[in-house]
């Protein structure tokens, strides 16, 4: 093995930071900070009141501690809650007004924002620290009545929709991190698809943490009205820093009658170095409500980054015949830890859910699948199928599966399968004998292991995700 | 092409090969026969560079010392092993595996990597020669293949990768008579004056189709007898008892 090459390629590709002048809220979690955020965003009064209500609720909530990965106590008073490049503190009207350094940053990340070079057929909302810096393809979407903008803009321009749906899936007083987010969220994306409309392109948000000592609290709300369809993808990166940075996002999805939302995530936050120093704490609440009959929500996630990943994208299957899906790949290497899975709550009749989870651990990492499937007493003829596969690379990593199952309806069934395998030396040998080097062989075998999940991703991203899977495991066998 | 001198191999302090000598020249077909556990697969694995063996002695391939090369480098230089028990790799499409494999080998030879179209053309041709249905190649590698299908798939890979030295480890075991003929035809049509074969088998019946230049009897990790094709016929009649 050419160690030099390995070193170079193993380095986190997105670890650079951009030197821009920032506007920051003073450090600390208090009413003043919340008012600062609301004020700088020129929010209406109802929004500030909503935030303050969340903040009051937060005072009596405790940080949860039942998760497997433990982390040092976070000093919430020692964090910045708002940081925005000066140049975009007032949202720029056109790309010309955006700091060229930021445009350059997105270019380096492979997300060009300028008009000529935009990604083909993918509309992008780019969030830099606490603000959305640009949304592409807006006009084309507007023609169809589709709203795709930053949540800050939606609060001002579409208050009725926001008031109606914000917090309707993740209530104000949910759990600690979700409530913290409700109090201090800064930006994120908003999507509304009108009835009987098929969104003609992938919608995508790209989150970038740049500033240090700053938490990122993004908020995304997607509403698919009756008979509509949308596919949405988020990607994330952060600079390499030796501090741990907190990312606590809330994502809410609402699917009305016959609507479908496909939500894909490729999470590649900075994972920390090989000794476990630095990296993002990715504590995220994602929840979708299949509110209408025959509605469908499908989560696909490829989690390769972050020091700690702690999230359970969930579906609340309220409408009769609604469908919830969760496809997940969680890769942990070195000292990374992941505690992730899903919750499928069956309320309506004939509701179906499917969970496919692929956990891969290497190095000294720990990977946990934790999932809840609950069939309530009125959810007759409902079905769940769960399959959890773990792949271990080496002897120092761990994999765990904890399924919680509650079935309160005798006409409904829950099925669970789980496997744990070690990466097979014989398979590697077979590949080597056919001329593949160790890295190619691992990539091939692991991508084979993840196939059912990878094929859920939109084409353009499946290829990227495959490469990412290979890169995150480089040097882990050999 | 291949020169083995005094080869010894140990696993977990157990001696498996005990001073084995063998020379193979281009254009030759060598057969190795011997009882179960005599070290045939071990020899194949040591030649192709599998980890876990402690070896002594010398193996030269085209003048180069093999111990300096990793498994994939040996494969790229033209050593191919058709496995006794081909492995299943779930989720990996057979065609994609073949393409990745061929391109690694081509890259190492300084040849241009093939795009999907030109690759499929090659596969189509070679698989039809072996009577392999193309649909079969979009399935997961070896998953759910019958014993015979797995062996045919090994020979297909050999024909695609075009090795200099092909080692066939009991490729005939578990084949019915039709499959055996197809595999033998595959070998015969690939054979030429520049490449060589090392065929490991228990049975004379394969050697009825592929005529070896030499037959070696392996016992307790050593070659105890070498002869021409006639030796196979004799072994078939008398068994190994006379030689070990
Ligand atoms: N990895 C191993 N560990 C211990 N013993 C082994 C190992 N591989 C092979 N052996 C032993 O070495 C001997 C030769 O094995 P093998 O080369 O597979 O024989 P053959 O292919 O001729 O049947 C057998 O006794 C077998 O049990
Ligand atoms: Mg054997």
Task: Please report, in tens digits, the pLDDT of each residue of chain B (244 residues total).
Answer: 999 999 999 999 999 999 999 999 999 999 999 989 999 999 999 999 999 999 999 999 999 999 889 999 999 999 999 999 999 998 899 999 999 999 999 999 899 999 989 999 999 999 998 888 888 899 999 999 988 899 999 999 999 999 999 999 999 988 888 889 998 999 999 999 999 999 999 888 888 899 999 999 999 999 998 988 888 888 888 888 777 6
* Residues linked to residue A388 through DSSP beta bridges, in sequence order: A357, A418
B75–A435 C-beta distance less than 8 A: yes
The alpha carbon of residue B91 is apart from the nearest alpha carbon of chain A, in Å, by 4
Question: For the segment A23-60, what is each residue's pLDDT rounded down to a tens digit?
Answer: 788 888 999 999 999 998 899 999 999 999 999 999 99
Instruction: Give the pLDDT confidence score for residue A111 in this predicted structure.
Output: 66
Write down the pTM of the prediction. 0.83
Q: Are the CB atoms for A323 and A290 separated by under 8 Å?
A: yes
B76:A435 CB<8 A: yes
Spell out which residues have Cβ within 5 A of ligand 2, the ion: B 40-41, 84
Strand partners, A404: A372
pLDDT at residue A133 is higher than 80: no
Write out pLDDT tens, residues A346-379: 999 999 999 999 999 988 888 999 999 999 999 9
Residue among A180, A148, A182, A155 nearest A168 (CA): A182
What are the structure tokens assigned to B63, written together?
Answer: 């003048």
Rg of chain A's alpha carbons, rounded to an integer?
22
Residues 6+ apart with CB under 8 A from A291: A254, A255, A256, A318, A319
Percent over 70 (pLDDT), chain A: 87
User: What is the pLDDT confidence band of residue A274, given thresholds at 50, 70 and 90?
Assistant: confident
- Give the angle subtended at the CA of A435 by the CAs of A432 and A440, to the nearest 5°: 65
Report residue B6 as tokens. Answer: 């005094």
CATH tag, B2-238: 3.40.50.300
Atom of ligand 1 nearest to the CA of B44: 17
Q: How far apart are CA A280 and CA A469, in angstroms?
A: 18
Strand (E) or helix (H) holding A27: none
Q: Which of residues A216 and A406 earns the better pLDDT score?
A: A406
Å from A422 to nearest chain B CA?
13
How many CB pairs below 8 A link A and B? 73
pLDDT of residue A113: 66
Length of chain B: 244
Q: Within an 8 Å CB–CB cutoff, is residue B90 touching chain A?
A: yes
Please tell me the predicted confidence (pLDDT) of residue A375.
Answer: 97
Read off the pLDDT of each residue in A148-160 and give the average, rounded to a whole number.
Answer: 93
At A68-97, the pLDDT tens digits run: 888 888 888 888 888 877 766 555 556 666
Q: How far is the C-alpha of A345 from the C-alpha of A352, rounded, in Å?
A: 10
| Residue of higher predicted confidence among A366 and A470 | A366
For residue B167, what pLDDT is reported? Answer: 97
pLDDT: which is higher, A152 or A23: A152
Instruction: List the one residue out of A473, A476, A425, A422 whose CA is nearest residue A447.
Output: A473
Task: Say which ligand is closest to the CA of B170.
Answer: 2
Q: A435 in contact with B at a CB cutoff of 8 Å?
A: yes
Is B100–A452 a contact, with Cβ atoms under 8 angstroms apart?
A: no
Decide which of A83 and A265 is more confident: A265
Q: Count Cα atoms within 13 angstroms, Cβ side, for B77.
A: 19
Whether the predicted pLDDT of A435 surpasses 80: yes
Q: How confident is the model at residue A160 (pLDDT cuts 50, 70, 90)?
A: very high
| 3-class secondary-structure state, position A43 | coil
Mean pLDDT rounded to a whole number for chain A: 86
Which band of pLDDT confidence, cut at 50, 70 and 90, is reported for residue A121?
low
- What is the pLDDT at residue A3? 34
* CA separation for the pair A300, A256 (Å, rounded): 20
B3 inside 8 A of chain A by CB: no
- What interface predicted TM-score (ipTM) does this complex get? 0.95
Helix, strand, coil abundance in chain B, percent, nearest 5 = 40, 30, 30
C-alpha distance from residue A85 to each of A99, A112, A314, B1 (Å): 8, 18, 33, 67
* C-alpha gyration radius of chain B: 18
Report the distance separating Cα A107 and Cα B232, nearest Å: 68
CB-CB neighbors (< 8 A) of A430 in chain B: 83, 86-87, 89
A444·B80 Cβ contact <8 A = no
B76 vs A contacts (CB less than 8 Å):
435
Q: For residue A92, what pLDDT is reported?
A: 56
Report the percentage of chain A scoring pLDDT > 90.
Answer: 49
Residue-wise DSSP of B78-127? TEEEE-SSPPPEEEEEHHHHHHHHHHHHHHHTTPPPPPHHHHHHHHHHHH
Mean pLDDT across the stretch A141-145?
92
CA–CA gap between residue B155 and residue B184 (Å, rounded): 9
Strands (DSSP E) found in A120-241: 122-128, 131-135, 147-150, 189-193, 202-208, 219-224, 229-237
Residue A6 has a pLDDT of: 35
């Amino acid at each position: 093995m050419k160690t030099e090459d390995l070193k170079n390629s193993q380095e986190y590709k997105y670890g650079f930071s951009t030197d821009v002048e920032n506007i920051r809220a003073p450090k600390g979690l208090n009413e003043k900070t919340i008012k600062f955020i609301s004020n700088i965003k020129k929010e209406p009064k109802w929004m500030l009141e909503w935030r303050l209500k969340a903040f009051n609720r937060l005072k009596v909530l405790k940080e949860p501690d039942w998760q497997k990965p433990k982390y040092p106590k976070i000093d919430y008073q020692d964090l910045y809650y708002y940081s925005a490049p000066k140049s975009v503190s007032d949202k720029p009207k056109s790309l010309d007004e955006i700091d060229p350094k930021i445009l350059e940053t997105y270019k380096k990340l492979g997300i060009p924002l300028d008009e000529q070079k935009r990604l083909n057929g993918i509309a992008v909302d780019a969030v830099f620290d606490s603000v959305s810096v640009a949304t592409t393809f807006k006009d084309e979407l507007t023609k169809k009545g589709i709203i795709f903008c930053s949540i800050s803009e939606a609060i001002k321009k579409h208050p009725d929709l926001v008031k109606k749906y914000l917090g309707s899936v993740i209530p104000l007083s949910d759990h600690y991190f979700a409530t913290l987010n409700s109090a201090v969220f800064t930006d994120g994306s908003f999507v509304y698809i009108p009835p009987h409309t098929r969104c003609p392109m992938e919608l995508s948000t790209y989150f970038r943490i740049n500033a240090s000592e700053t938490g990122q609290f993004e908020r995304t709300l997607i509403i698919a009205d009756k008979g509509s369809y949308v596919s949405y993808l988020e990607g994330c990166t952060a600079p390499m820093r030796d501090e741990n940075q907190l990312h606590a996002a809330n994502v809410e999805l609402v699917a009305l009658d016959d609507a479908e939302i496909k939500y894909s995530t490729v999470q590649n936050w900075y994972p920390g170095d090989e000794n476990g120093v630095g990296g993002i704490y990715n504590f995220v609440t994602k929840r979708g409500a299949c509110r209408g009959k025959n509605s469908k929500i499908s989560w696909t996630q490829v989690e390769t980054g972050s020091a700690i990943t702690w999230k359970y994208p969930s579906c609340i299957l309220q409408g009769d015949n609604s469908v919830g899906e969760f496809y997940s790949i969680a890769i942990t290497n070195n000292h990374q830890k992941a505690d992730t899975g899903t919750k499928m709550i069956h309320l309506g009749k004939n509701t179906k859910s499917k969970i496919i989870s692929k956990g891969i651990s290497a190095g000294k990492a720990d990977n946990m699948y934790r999932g809840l499937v609950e069939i309530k007493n009125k959810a007759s003829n409902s079905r769940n199928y769960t399959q959890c596969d773990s792949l271990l690379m080496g002897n120092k990593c761990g994999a765990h599966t904890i399924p919680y199952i509650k079935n309160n309806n005798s006409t409904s069934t829950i099925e669970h399968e789980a496997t744990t395998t070690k990466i097979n030396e014989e398979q590697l040998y077979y590949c080597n004998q056919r001329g593949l080097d160790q890295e190619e062989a691992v990539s091939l075998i692991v991508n084979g292991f993840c196939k059912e999940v990878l094929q859920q991703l939109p084409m353009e991203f499946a290829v990227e995700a495959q490469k990412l899977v290979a890169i995150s495991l480089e040097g882990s066998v050999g | 092409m291949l020169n083995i001198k005094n080869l010894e191999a140990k696993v977990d302090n157990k001696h498996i090969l005990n001073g084995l000598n063998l020379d193979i020249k281009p254009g030759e077909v060598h057969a190795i026969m011997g009882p179960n556990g005599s070290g045939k697969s071990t020899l194949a694995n040591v030649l192709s560079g599998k980890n876990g063996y402690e070896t002594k002695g010398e193996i030269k391939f085209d003048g180069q010392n093999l111990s300096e090369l990793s498994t994939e480098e040996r494969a790229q230089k033209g050593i191919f092993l058709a496995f006794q028990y081909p492995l299943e790799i779930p989720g990996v499409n057979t065609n994609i595996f073949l393409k990745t494999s061929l391109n690694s080998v081509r890259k190492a030879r300084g040849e241009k990597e093939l795009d999907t179209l030109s690759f499929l053309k090659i596969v189509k041709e070679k698989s039809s020669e072996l009577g392999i249905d193309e649909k079969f190649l979009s399935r997961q590698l070896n998953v759910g293949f019958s014993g015979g299908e797995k062996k045919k798939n090994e020979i297909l890979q050999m024909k695609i990768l075009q090795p200099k030295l092909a080692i066939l480890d009991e490729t005939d075991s578990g084949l019915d008579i039709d499959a055996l003929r197809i595999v033998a035809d595959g070998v015969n049509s690939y054979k030429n004056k520049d490449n060589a074969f090392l065929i490991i088998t228990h049975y004379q019946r394969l050697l009825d189709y592929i005529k070896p230049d030499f037959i070696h009897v392996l016992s307790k990790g050593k070659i105890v007898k070498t002869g021409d094709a006639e030796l196979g016929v004799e072994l078939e009649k008398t068994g190994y008892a006379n030689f070990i």
